Chain A
């Protein structure tokens, strides 16, 4: 048995590096980068904005209906608009947009894209119902039980819609992406953070004092919490970034992400709960969120540093 496995090993043992001549294709990239560019960064951001707003509104409303029902009724239609824009980007990024529905002919749990497509499709139904019933309630036709049911039904597919994106962009063979073990953790956490910021803005706009006060505290907590998956993601990507960017470039982007995404929103939110400062916080948070996604999506399309600098 041992002899057999030794013989097999010999048959499959490549020469040791250096013993044979180098050259050939050794320094060329093996994988092909998919045609996923800036639109995917926007898609990932809008996905987080839509699913995060729905989940933040749903969780808050279900936990404290007396405080959050008013703002949640505005949040669902806004989330629906964001989701429709996101779906538009998702469809138009396909090689053949008229064949989007082909993804609904099978359900493959092993394919993150299939899981995501089904989650988004299912999520769109209760979200549309919740949004429509919220608008109807404002017009005087109040079907409160149906609206709450739609919100409860939508929670799980909303979570799935937020969770699949990171797995899709990390479960592949692309350099850098394949090492991003915490991308999913970051994106899902970030979706809730963005959703909380959006809900905070809506409650401030509606003048909901109690909801605004609660959401301010939650937003600050989530801002700090989000630093954990973000830090872990950057630790995953550090070797790749070191190959692609100079130390100075890495520091510049890192400081920009930390300042725009955490320090400024934190400072503005601590300073006051006014509509203007909440709006400023959200804008800076969205800028950081887009930047993280954009830098990530660019990885397979960026030439290594030694090629760009000619070293």
Chain B
């Protein structure tokens, strides 16, 4: 291993970094404008998360932190079940959610972990490993004024941190509360869907680590097929609440390349019930903005033209 590192460090670099202050400044000013060749499109990939088999082990969180070298967020008791991660952040790209649904009378009689259909006072734990949804028409991607957020060759939403200038437009735009601006670097961060691993033909670290196959990774069409079969199977077995969240576009939002199999309403899992792409309002907002300005200019012009004589 050490000899390999020596070999690598001995290899000539393709270009030396700029040395003088002026060349450093010029380099800093010009490099964002340099563009490499765009990679050829590859089959779209994504995640399908089957929450019915999630056991809340947080192996995905740990694998994500380890592979992406993300620092710890400290240890804070949240008081909310076993959820001490509390939210997705610039340094937590995976977040396992715990939902305890127990009625007082039932809990004294023991806890049933089975998902029983048509049971009004159900006793159960729901768990879900949350992460970036990699929306097909992602509001963060649309909002980004620097072009730092791109859809890569796998149709995953990816942030180029060296281009991001920390304007936070993406944070404001995300209806799922995924993207966060880091206090350390001032740039936005989120799940990359392990772009580096995918380019090397590996599956993302979280999917690799998941012991129950709750997190499925693969070509998006295959995942959809697999997920629909799973829902039908669950329906056959009496779990009629099972449904897919985000696998198909709605009237107000595109499909997600990371979609979920859920058994309760989306809001229970901290997901918006009806996600809305804010860009659907943009043209109307511009029209009202222009109308407001033109009305004022017209009023000013009328007074000036009528009064000048």
- Given A20-B122, A173-B278; A108-B145 close (CB under 8 Å): yes
- Given A60-B304, A96-B186; A111-B97 close (CB under 8 Å): no
* CB of B195 closer than 8 Å to a CB of A: no
Residue of B nearest to A108 (CB): B145
| Residue contact B145 to A163, C-beta cutoff 8 Å | no
- Given A63-B305, A94-B166, A171-B281; A108-B147 close (CB under 8 Å): yes
CA distance A221 to B173 in the complex (A): 36
Q: At the interface with chain A, which of B54-62, B198-206, B288-296?
A: B288-296
Shortest Cβ distance from A85 into chain B, in angstroms? 19
| Residue contact A103 to B288, C-beta cutoff 8 Å | no
CA distance A112 to B126 in the complex (A): 39
| Residue contact B99 to A225, C-beta cutoff 8 Å | no
Which residue of B142, B243, B288, B289 has the most chain A CB atoms within 10 A of its CB atom?
B289
Which residue of B101, B168, B174 has the most chain A CB atoms within 10 A of its CB atom?
B168
CA distance A32 to B140 in the complex (A): 12
Q: Which of chain A's residues have a CB closer than 8 A to the CB of B226?
A: none
Total chain B interface residues with beta-carbon distance under 8 A: 93
Our pick among A59, A110, A172 for the contact of B300 (Cβ within 8 Å) is: A59
Q: Which of chain B's residues have a CB closer than 8 A to the CB of A56?
A: 300
| Residue contact A103 to B145, C-beta cutoff 8 Å | yes
Contact code string A99-116 (vs B, CB < 8 Å = 1, else 0):
111110110101111100
Q: Which of chain A's residues have a CB closer than 8 A to the CB of B271?
A: 30
| Residue contact B186 to A95, C-beta cutoff 8 Å | yes
| Residue contact B228 to A182, C-beta cutoff 8 Å | no
* CB of B171 closer than 8 Å to a CB of A: yes
* CB of B26 closer than 8 Å to a CB of A: no
Interface residues of chain B: helix, strand, loop or mixed (majority): mixed
Residue of B nearest to A163 (CB): B289
Residues of chain B from 256 to 292 with CB closer than 8 A to chain A in the complex: 262-273, 276, 278-279, 281-282, 284-286, 288-292
CA distance A103 to B273 in the complex (A): 34
Interface residues of chain A: helix, strand, loop or mixed (majority): helix
Q: Which of chain B's residues have a CB closer than 8 A to the CB of A25?
A: 97, 99, 267-270
Q: Which of chain A's residues have a CB closer than 8 A to the CB of B63?
A: none
Q: Which of chain A's residues have a CB closer than 8 A to the CB of B218?
A: none
| Residue contact A218 to B303, C-beta cutoff 8 Å | yes
Contact code string A105-132 (vs B, CB < 8 Å = 1, else 0):
1101011111001000000000000000
Q: Which of chain A's residues have a CB closer than 8 A to the CB of B103?
A: 21
- Given A11-B243, A30-B272; A21-B304 close (CB under 8 Å): no
Q: At the interface with chain B, which of A185-193, A247-255, A256-264?
A: A185-193
| Residue contact B285 to A60, C-beta cutoff 8 Å | no
Which residue of A55, A113, A173, A184 has the most chain B CB atoms within 10 A of its CB atom?
A173
CA distance A15 to B28 in the complex (A): 53
Shortest Cβ distance from A108 into chain B, in angstroms? 6
* CB of A139 closer than 8 Å to a CB of B: no
Q: At the interface with chain A, which of B9-17, B42-50, B175-183, B209-217?
A: B175-183
CA distance A205 to B199 in the complex (A): 67
Our pick among A30, A114, A191 for the contact of B177 (Cβ within 8 Å) is: A30
Our pick among B97, B265, B289 for the contact of A166 (Cβ within 8 Å) is: B289
- Given A178-B276, A217-B303; A24-B243 close (CB under 8 Å): no
| Residue contact A192 to B172, C-beta cutoff 8 Å | no
| Residue contact B264 to A15, C-beta cutoff 8 Å | yes
The residues of A with any CB-CB pair to B shorter than 8 Å are: 8, 10-15, 17, 19-26, 28-36, 55-56, 59-60, 63-64, 66-68, 94-96, 98-103, 105-106, 108, 110-114, 117, 159, 162-164, 166-168, 170-174, 177-178, 181-189, 191-193, 196, 213-214, 217-218, 221-222, 225-226, 229
Interchain Cβ contacts under 8 Å between A and B, 21 examples:
A15-B265, A25-B97, A30-B270, A31-B174, A34-B168, A35-B168, A60-B304, A95-B185, A95-B187, A103-B145, A111-B145, A162-B293, A166-B285, A171-B285, A174-B172, A182-B288, A188-B292, A189-B292, A222-B296, A225-B295, A229-B292
Ordered nearest first, which 10 A-B pairs have the shortest CB separation?
Answer: A95-B166, A95-B186, A184-B289, A25-B270, A185-B292, A24-B99, A192-B296, A188-B293, A99-B165, A21-B101
